[in-house]
Amino acid sequence: MNLKAVEAHAPQPPLTKRKVFMYQKTDLPNGLRVVSYEMKDRDSISIGIWINAGGRYEEDKVKGAAHFLEHILFKGTKNYSCEAIKELIEGVGGMLNAFTSEENTCYFAKVPAKHLNQTFDVLADMVLSPLITKEDVDKERGVILEEIKMYHDLPQHFVLELLDELVWPDHPLGKNLAGSFETVGQMSEKDLQGFHRGQYISKNIVVAACGKFKHKDLLKLVTRKFRNQAKKQTESFLKFENRQNSPQVKLFRKDIEQMHLALGMHGLPYDHKDKYILNLLHVILGANMSSRLFDEVREKRGLAYAIGSSVKSLQDTGLFMVRAGVDNKKIVEAVKVILEELSKIKKENVTKDEFTRAKDYYLGQILLGLEDTLEHMLWLGESVTALNKTRTLKDILKEVKKIEISDIRRVAGQILNENHFNLSVVGPLAESQEKDLRRLVGVSGS
């Protein structure tokens, strides 16, 4: 298939360009941003087109539209059929994928560097000129409904959906990204076309790329393809206000062989001054096999096969979570031990050795990830879509070096607040277990 490269003959407004350490970032006049990192010693290039609009930008009646639209964009565009989209990238040894999150949708590919032009044209056409036909929407509806059923059948995923409902009640963040049977069931091609028109606009778009290429060459591709996109006003999202003042529990009985639990607390937004401290707290508590929770819950007591913590940051809120899969008969004991570990880290400073290992692990994981063009692109794209700025490893190293042992205890006291505990559990719970879990978390009543 011939590529449809269109030359720009009209005079173009000046671009604003500046180098940010090892990264290059260019802001186009229409608001679209291009950020890149040239990795000359690699043979690949990873490129992503980020849309700064995800599940939290949806109205209730079209909940799941961002995710639905992500599926539909693979079905065909003005210049490429569904088959061509896949073949032009996979046919040269590349990979093509996409994801939808609360705040972003990203379409990305990793290919041998010489195929940059073709790959970018395919991705850009998906974002700019999707067909969004009734036939494709009706067909894909069934696929997404099956996806929702699949995740409901997977307790390790369903427990997270229950947790979101507790942490962000009556808010778009607390509702399933894929939507519900009702919203997906009635979603029309006009709904998706409207969401595309409203959200896939230049000010919401970031093109991020890492690998063997020149920033100026990428910029030419972006300018040619997106030059006709007008500068429109972006739509805001509903901000979240945390009003939780007491612990909450949501229990779901399901006849399965293992209990799945998720204990979540409100975390920190992207740009919070304590975000790196919280990341170190996560490393110490549950990021790896050396962590406190893994050692205490699994190694010493044998209560769980899987146990760990995680951190999620959004523009105005966040989540710190502990999750585990435990023996059906040991759910109460497991939660008790987890709570004891959370209490301990609030009362006593971590050791110097533990603190040093946490710093080294955190920085080492970032360094290892940035060696890969795809991971580096995802890191870069997320930073610019969330903060409109880049972060280098040098920047992070500088901030992490400032952290003191006492900071871990301080942030633990703020985040691991018993009044902000949210516990969700999926499994064959007995009434006595339900009562014990509520009591442990501090929830009164049956």
Query: Looking at the annotation, which residues are catalytic?
Result: 70
As a three-state string, the secondary structure of the chain is CCCCCCCCCCCCCCCEEEEECCEEEEECCCCCEEEEEECCCCCEEEEEEEECCCHHHCCHHHCCHHHHHHHHCCCEECCCEHHHHHHHHHCCCCEEEEEECCCCEEEEEEEEHHHHHHHHHHHHHHHHCECCCHHHHHHHHHHHHHHHHHHHHCHHHHHHHHHHHHHCCCCHHHCCCCCCHHHHHHCCHHHHHHHHHHHCCHHHEEEEEEECCCHHHHHHHHHHHHCCCCCCCCCCCCCCCCCCCCCEEEEEECCCCEEEEEEEEECCCCCCCCHHHHHHHHHHHHCCCCCHHHHHHHHHCCCEEEEEEEEEECCCCEEEEEEEEEEHHHHHHHHHHHHHHHHHHHHCCCCHHHHHHHHHHHHHHHHHHCCCHHHHHHHHHHHHHHHCCCCCHHHHHHHHHHCCHHHHHHHHHHHCCHHHCEEEEEECCCHHHHHHHHHHHCCCCC
Residue 378: closest CA among 27, 49, 19, 115: 49
Q: What is the Cβ-side half-sphere exposure of residue 235, based on CA atoms within 13 angstroms?
A: 18
Are 333 and 346 in contact, with CB atoms under 8 Å apart? no
Q: How far is CA 432 from the centre of its chain?
A: 37
How many of the other CB atoms lie within 10 Å of CB of 228? Answer: 11
Enumerate the β-bridge partners of residue 264: 321, 422
How many of the other CB atoms lie within 10 Å of CB of 43? Answer: 11
User: How many residues are recorded in the chain?
Assistant: 446
Residue with tokens 């009044």: 419
Residue 24: closest CA among 8, 39, 44: 39
